[in-house]
Amino acid sequence: MKKYSFNVKANDGFARLGQIKTSNGSINTPAFMPIATQGSIKFTPIEFIKEIGFDLILSNTYHLLLRPGLKVLNKFDGISRFMKWDGPMLTDSGGFQVMSLAKFRKISKEGVKFQSHIDGSTHILTPENVVDSQNIINSNIQMSLDECLHYPASFEDSKKSMRLSLNWAERARRRFLDTKKNKSDAQFGIIQGGIFKDLRIESIKENTDIDFDGYAIGGLAVGEGHEMMKEIVKYTTPELPINKVRYLMGVGKPKDIIIAVENGIDIFDCVIPTREGRHGNAYTNYGIINLNNSKFSNDLNPIDEESTYYVTKNYSKSYLHHLLRINEPLGGMLVSLHNLNYYNVLMNKIRNAIRDKKFNTFKENFLL
Amino acid sequence: MKKYSFNVKANDGFARLGQIKTSNGSINTPAFMPIATQGSIKFTPIEFIKEIGFDLILSNTYHLLLRPGLKVLNKFDGISRFMKWDGPMLTDSGGFQVMSLAKFRKISKEGVKFQSHIDGSTHILTPENVVDSQNIINSNIQMSLDECLHYPASFEDSKKSMRLSLNWAERARRRFLDTKKNKSDAQFGIIQGGIFKDLRIESIKENTDIDFDGYAIGGLAVGEGHEMMKEIVKYTTPELPINKVRYLMGVGKPKDIIIAVENGIDIFDCVIPTREGRHGNAYTNYGIINLNNSKFSNDLNPIDEESTYYVTKNYSKSYLHHLLRINEPLGGMLVSLHNLNYYNVLMNKIRNAIRDKKFNTFKENFLL
């Protein structure tokens, strides 16, 4: 019995507090998704993710297709049982990874042919087989296949690519509706159009005609910078349907998230907390600190004295510095967990601020 | 307030059930110590070690001297607070690591001069400064400095080395007793003598005259093989005082442990469960399985269907195979945890068998 719904429960300006319901549980929005690229959060037992309190995680169709492959996932009736995450899961479509990782890609109207970055084997993604794959992965929320362009791209290239993604979107939606029974709860379309307002608006119009269950803004966080991203989010988001989830893909830093929430975005994903954590960079209320710095070798205090999270409270900066220095993976893992908890607390604060109609004050204090 | 005691509670043949008390808690023996080489169990948050149920862990003086160094450990008043392990800890003396790791070592009557395997810096270990270092590390049980020989070694070399270790043992004991106030609970001596019975007996006699709080059999598990080790343990152990802990250093595989317990050994340490785990080798009641093997890619079952340990129960062989294949450290960590739990369960079974006077039956079933 699959079920999906999204309700906006409160507004503060354009910022909104909402709840997504899926057959694996509900998600309070605005929400941040940790990334389980290949069916695991890097270095991290999944229990820690549940404990921190994340509602929703993301996994990558591109990676899962290559390893462990659909045959294995099919045996498990999907990724939940495979990786032992029983909460809601969103999977991307692979379009972004084909652009950023594959050794070679060739795009045609039919789909995209590419060579695996691991062993050079050839694969084809089509709008239809990406739905079929995600049905096997059995995620709660699917993304439709899109073409992602490298930044910067010309108006002509951006237009051509956006039109192709729209054609794919229609086909993906048709396949999703044809196979929906007993499969994923929902499918989101992806707005493209690069840095060009006209193209973004055109993409929104036609994507909303297709009538997805939610909409993502794609093609950002690819090098355009904070100001450009802010501008695009500002003019794009108001055009999206108010009763559907809005997802800003690949974003981002805390201040990017806050600006996007202010403009009405509901969900986010980003590698920053885990990747930065693995490299020893810890987010704090007073900025980012690099625990590799030798000045921390004698520091008996935790990363954040006010945190109630036991991983943060338990370990000194000196110990974390030591683990990083001896290349012990536990060090990166503990700092990643600290960062993930920081993000989760941030999203809690954001939701509380919207509920209390104090989002603007929260934002101004945060960005100070 | 430091306190240390050891009581034998039951015997079954030469095998014995006992309890060590330290100021950080008690240890049921026979006991196995996981190894926190550099102040962390590799890849593993310390909570997992507590959860599995280990009473005692080991850390390496040699490694801790080099990193984080005594200055840092002194600030934390010892390693417990640094690494957040509040249970009992034993530290070795560094003699073995100087032999196996250091770039260069020069032994004199005074002590051993060596170059760090990390940065080539020069250090000196003396029987006295090794006690002082372990006082700063603030472990519950210290080991006295010994010289370790490469295997094989001649009678003459073994004798000379054993005599030197005895000289060091006397000096180490004197320093320990002089500095005992508010420091470690206990200090163990180390029996040397290579593969020569006369030398081993001589080493025991003089070590017991020095009157340590416990005795280790050193210089084994260095390549002499199971049969030779068994023989040496067989003739050495009965000569050790019955009211003191007997520790077989660096051992071992489950069958080595069982044979040693049969001969009256009380405590063990070994890297096998964690090192093998990191490489994907899992201990089971039906032998060792290599989870890297592609035959496990489709295996939905856990490593051990009968295990009650949630890490073992929770994950399929297929998922663990996948994590190992993608070089995700989480894979090695989960298999290590499985192995550590296997060892802890083994020690429980051993203790129960001694208590029930069924150790022989247990041993025969196990070795079948």
Q: Best mutation site among A312, A319, A327, A335 for testing chain B: the one with the most B CBs within 10 Å?
A: A319
Is pLDDT of A1 > 60? Answer: no
3-state SS assignment for residue B5 = strand
Chain A contact set for B42 (CB, 8 A): 328-330
Distance of CA B171 to the CA centre of its chain: 23
Of A83, A298, A315, the CB nearest to B75: A298
Residue A2 has a pLDDT of 56
Q: Is residue A167 located within the same domain as residue A285? A: no
Q: Is residue B9 located within the same domain as residue B84? A: yes
Q: Is residue B74 located within the same domain as residue B212? A: yes
In a domain, A93, yes or no: yes
**A267-269 and A31-33 as β-strands: parallel, antiparallel, unpaired?**
parallel
3-state secondary structure A282-311: EEECCEEEECCCHHHCCCCCCCCCCCCCHH
| Residue A224 burial by Cβ neighbours in a 10 Å radius (0-12, 13-18, 19+) | middle
Q: Best mutation site among A42, A49, A328 for testing chain B: the one with the most B CBs within 10 Å?
A: A328
Of B39, B72, B318, the CB nearest to A298: B72
In a domain, A364, yes or no: no
**What is the band of B17 on the pLDDT scale with cuts at 50, 70, 90?**
very high
What is Dmax (Cα atoms) for chain A? 62
Q: Is residue A9 located within the same domain as residue A116? A: yes
3-state SS assignment for residue A359 = helix
Start-to-end C-alpha separation, chain B: 47
Of B67, B83, B314, the CB nearest to A325: B67
Nearest CA in chain A to B337: A45
In a domain, A368, yes or no: no
Per the structure, how many domains does chain A have?
2
Q: Per the CB < 8 Å rule, is B314 touching A84?
A: yes
Eight-state DSSP code of residue A238: G
B173-182, B208-217, B243-252 — which is least confidently predicted?
A: B173-182
Residue B182 has a pLDDT of 67
A185, A213, A256, A269: which is the annotated catalytic residue? A269
Nearest CA in chain A to B311: A45
**What is the band of B2 on the pLDDT scale with cuts at 50, 70, 90?**
low
Eight-state DSSP code of residue B150: P
3-state secondary structure B241-271: CCCCEEEECCCCCHHHHHHHHHCCCCEEECC
Beta strands in A144-185, from DSSP E residues, in sequence order: none
Domain boundary at A267, A294, A325, which? A267
Long-range CB contacts (< 8 A, 24+ apart) of B364-368?
B366/B254, B366/B255, B366/B258, B367/B255, B367/B258
Domain housing A141: 5-267
Residue A182 has a pLDDT of 67
Q: Per the CB < 8 Å rule, is A316 touching B76?
A: yes
What is Dmax (Cα atoms) for chain B? 62
Q: Is A132 an active-site residue?
A: no
Q: Per the CB < 8 Å rule, is A322 touching B72?
A: yes
CA distance A58 to B118: 40
Q: Is residue B154 located within the same domain as residue B121? A: yes
Residue contacts between A and B (CB atoms, under 8 Å): 91
Residue A233 has a pLDDT of 97
Chain A contact set for B83 (CB, 8 A): 319
Is pLDDT of B181 > 90? Answer: no
Identify the CA nearest to A7 among candidates A25, A28, A24: A28
Q: Per the CB < 8 Å rule, is A67 touching B297?
A: no
| B126 CB neighbour count, 10 Å cutoff | 19
Identify the CA nearest to A172 among candidates A203, A205, A219, A134: A134
Identify the CA nearest to A284 among candidates A302, A269, A264, A268: A302
Residue B72, min C-alpha distance to chain A (Å): 6
Identify the CA nearest to A117 among candidates A173, A62, A172: A62
Domain boundary at A236, A267, A298, which? A267
pTM: 0.96
Q: Is residue B253 located within the same domain as residue B276? A: no
- Alpha helices (H) in chain B, listed in sequence order: 46-52, 61-66, 70-75, 79-83, 95-100, 127-137, 155-178, 197-210, 226-236, 254-262, 272-278, 310-314, 317-325, 329-355, 359-367
Residues A353-362 pLDDT 10s: 999 999 999 9
Residue written as token pair 């317990």: B261
Is pLDDT of B159 > 60? Answer: yes
In a domain, A365, yes or no: no
Q: Per the CB < 8 Å rule, is B67 touching A322?
A: yes
Domain boundary at A250, A267, A284, which? A267
ipTM over 0.90: yes
Residues B185-236 pLDDT 10s: 999 999 999 999 999 999 999 999 999 999 999 999 999 999 999 999 999 9
Residue A102 has a pLDDT of 85
Chain B contact set for A82 (CB, 8 A): 316, 318-319, 322
3-state SS assignment for residue A365 = helix
Q: What is the residue-averaged pLDDT of chain B?
A: 96
Residues A70-111 pLDDT 10s: 999 999 999 999 999 999 999 999 999 999 998 889 999 999
Residue A181 has a pLDDT of 76
For chain B, the residues whose C-beta falls within 8 A of a C-beta of chain A are 38-40, 42-45, 67-68, 71-72, 75-76, 82-84, 297-298, 300, 314-316, 318-319, 322-323, 325-326, 328-330, 333-334
* Domain containing residue A172: CATH number: 3.20.20.105
Residues A5-40 pLDDT 10s: 999 999 999 999 999 999 999 999 999 999 999 999
Contact yes or no for B269/B249 (Cβ under 8 A): yes
Percent of chain A surpassing pLDDT 70: 99
Q: Best mutation site among A86, A101, A316 for testing chain B: the one with the most B CBs within 10 Å?
A: A316
Of B67, B300, B326, the CB nearest to A76: B300
Mean pLDDT across the stretch A342-367? 97
Contact yes or no for A23/A1 (Cβ under 8 A): yes
**What is the band of B240 on the pLDDT scale with cuts at 50, 70, 90?**
very high
Residue A367 has a pLDDT of 87
How many helices and strands, by DSSP H and E, does chain B display?
15, 16
Chain B contact set for A64 (CB, 8 A): none
Residues B21-68 pLDDT 10s: 999 999 999 999 999 999 999 999 999 999 999 999 999 999 999 999
Q: Is B269 an active-site residue?
A: yes
Q: Is residue B256 located within the same domain as residue B278? A: no
Nearest CA in chain B to A302: B82
Q: Is residue A37 located within the same domain as residue A91? A: yes
CA distance B234 to B183: 34
At residue B321, what are phi and psi to the nearest 5 degrees?
-55, -45
Residue A309 has a pLDDT of 97
Identify the CA nearest to B275 among candidates B323, B336, B345: B336
Identify the CA nearest to B196 among candidates B152, B238, B227, B139: B152
In a domain, A367, yes or no: no
Residue A183 has a pLDDT of 77
Is pLDDT of B1 > 90? Answer: no
Nearest CA in chain B to A73: B298
Q: Is residue A196 located within the same domain as residue A217? A: yes
